[in-house]
A and B are shown apart, each in its own frame.
Chain A
């Protein structure tokens, strides 16, 4: 339901960092496996094993997964940018300027985002990259 990483190529060690949390909460399921088994319960496609595919249900599943990942990426970005302000690595005024700057820049190309939603020709995201 959710990709394992947000930052491509980030060390698997990053994921291990959360296993102690799982022990605290007395839940024995590994969070990675947990979300996979939840996906089977929550999404429609698996309901369908052996039967003809239903494109409407597939579209619902796909749209939910896209929105969920997009929402979590926005939440993560907002959290980290707010932390940079707290750590005084950037001033609120500079950040606001940068946001306005990028909003303007990307609004000129928003048509490309829309078209890519139709064609899925390029992979997301289109205007930034967390790769090396």
Chain B
């Protein structure tokens, strides 16, 4: 617990870095990847030190990681729906533009 209060500084620094990243002259994808990495880093710090996960048993760590796995699977569950929406929108656009040609 004595170590816990030294880490919040990193969180503040990382937030400043996040804000700085937005204004950096970088590509959109690079900024996105950087922001995601920074957010994950901050979340890990909070879980490890604030929530003492680093000092708990490994099995409790598994309990904590489970939602991450489920959330990742969720993205794949949603992907088919996502593609369906994209295709529908494309079909609609095609349907709208075709009569205009005649």
B is bound to A: no
Residues on A facing B (Cβ under 8 Å): none
Residues on B facing A (Cβ under 8 Å): none
